[in-house]
Amino acid sequence: MNIERMTRDRRATRHAALADVARLAVVDELALGDRSPSELQAIIGLPSNLMAHHLKVLEDVGMVARRRSEGDRRRTYLTLVDTALIDSAPSEEVAVGRVVFVCSANSARSQLAAALWTRTSDVPVASAGTHPARQIAAGAKAVADRRSLKLVAAAPQPFGAIVSSRDFVVAVCDSAYEELGPAVSLHWSIPDPVTQGSDIAFDQAYAELDRRVTTLAPRLIAS
C-alpha cells in the first residue's frame, strides 16, 4: 500500500469517527481546552457507558489522547491532538478584560504562554502562579531565546495578587486547575517541562502552547 493510500485511509477513518453528533460534541468541547471524562459527561449529558464508547472511538483513530493529572493522580484529562478535520472558523467572539495564564510556579508554562499571547493577540495578558517560584526557570528562558520570544514578566507573580473578576483565566497545568476550580475559564493539561529538565521537554511545551494560543486568540477580543 502506498503512502497516499494510507493517508486516505487514515482520513476516512477519522471522518467516520466524526459521523456522530455526540462525538462531534466531544470534539467541539475539547477544541479549546481539556476536560476530564466526568466533566464531558456532565456537559454533554450522556451516561457513562455511552461516553466511554465515544471516547474510545476517538482515541482509537488518534484524535483524542488521555493524560493523567500531574496534580491529583486519580484524574485523567482528555486532549484533542488532531484538529485537521475540525472546522477552523472562529466561533462567536468573547470580550474579556485580560487573559491571565496560570500554573503552579509561574516559572515556565504560564510565562511562555503569556509571551506567545503578546505575539498573537492585542488582548492584554499576564501570568501568575498559585505557588510562585522565586525565579523563572532557566529552561524557559532558554527556549524563549531559541524561539526569539520575549518573556513578559521579570519574575513569577502570585495569582491572588493580580487576578480580577474581568480576567479570562487559562490554567496551563493540572495542579492550578484543580486548586482554583471555578476561577478558571479554560484548562490546558500541559506536562511540566521543569520536572523533566531537558531542552526537548521545553520545546514540546512551547510547541503545544503555541498551537493552543493560536487557536484561542481569534475567539477573544478586548472589552
CATH number of the structural domain spanning residue 194: 3.40.50.2300
Other Cβ atoms within 10 Å of 62 Cβ, number = 13
Residue 35 in any domain: the answer is: yes
Tell whether the model's pLDDT for residue 86 goes beyond 90.
Answer: no
Residue 86 in any domain: the answer is: no
pLDDT computed for residue 4 by the predictor: 60
pLDDT band at 91 (very low <50, low <70, confident <90, very high): low
Residue 32 in any domain: the answer is: yes
Looking at the 3D structure of the chain, how many domains does it have? Answer: 2
Q: Are 127 and 157 in contact (CB under 8 A)?
A: yes
Residue 106 in any domain: the answer is: yes
Residue 88 in any domain: the answer is: no
* Residue whose C-alpha is closest to residue 10's, from 62, 83, 80, 78: 62
For 33, the grid coordinates are 481546552
Tell whether the model's pLDDT for residue 90 goes beyond 50.
Answer: no
Q: What is the DSSP string of 130-195?
A: SS--SS--HHHHHHHHHTT---S-SS--BHHHH--TTEEEEE-SHHHHHHHGGG-SEE-----HHH
pLDDT band at 88 (very low <50, low <70, confident <90, very high): very low
% the chain with pLDDT above 90: 85
Tell whether the model's pLDDT for residue 48 goes beyond 60.
Answer: yes
* Residue whose C-alpha is closest to residue 110's, from 87, 140, 85: 140
- Asked which of 25-34, 88-97, 129-138, 210-219 is least confident by mean pLDDT, the reply is 88-97
**In terms of domains, do 101 and 191 share one?**
yes
- Domain residue limits at 119: 94-222
